[in-house]
């Protein structure tokens, strides 16, 4: 399954810890900062601290508010 990059709409793997593609991420933050963001997000996911907002289930929950 895939989700869409929040910047360009490109498909990215559903299990990605970020909601944008690497091309857009590197374009916005540069390669070094992009890699740091991904690493920190992956560490947060492994600790159970990551909350993803670009998932259909989460979007349905927000529509109920």
Q: What is the pLDDT of residues 13-36, one digit of tens each?
A: 999 999 999 999 999 999 999 999
26 touches 32 (CB < 8 A): no
How far is residue 1 from each of residues 19, 32, 33, 36, measured CA to CA in Å? 14, 28, 27, 25
Average pLDDT over residues 31-55: 85
Residue 51 predicted with pLDDT over 80: no
As a whole number of angstroms, the distance between CA 60 and CA 62 comes to 5
pLDDT of residue 65: 44
pLDDT of residue 55: 53
CA 21 to chain centre: 8
Residue 28 structural domain: 2-63
What tokens does 3 get? 């989700």
**Overall domain count for the chain:** 1
Residue 12 predicted with pLDDT over 70: yes
Residue 63 predicted with pLDDT over 90: no
């Amino acid at each position: 399954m895939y989700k869409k990059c929040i910047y360009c709409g490109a498909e990215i793997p559903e299990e990605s810890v970020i909601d944008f593609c690497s091309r857009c991420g590197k374009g916005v933050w540069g390669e070094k900062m992009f890699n740091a963001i991904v690493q920190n997000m992956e560490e947060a996911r492994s600790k159970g601290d990551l909350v993803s907002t670009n998932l259909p289930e989460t979007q349905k929950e927000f529509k109920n508010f």
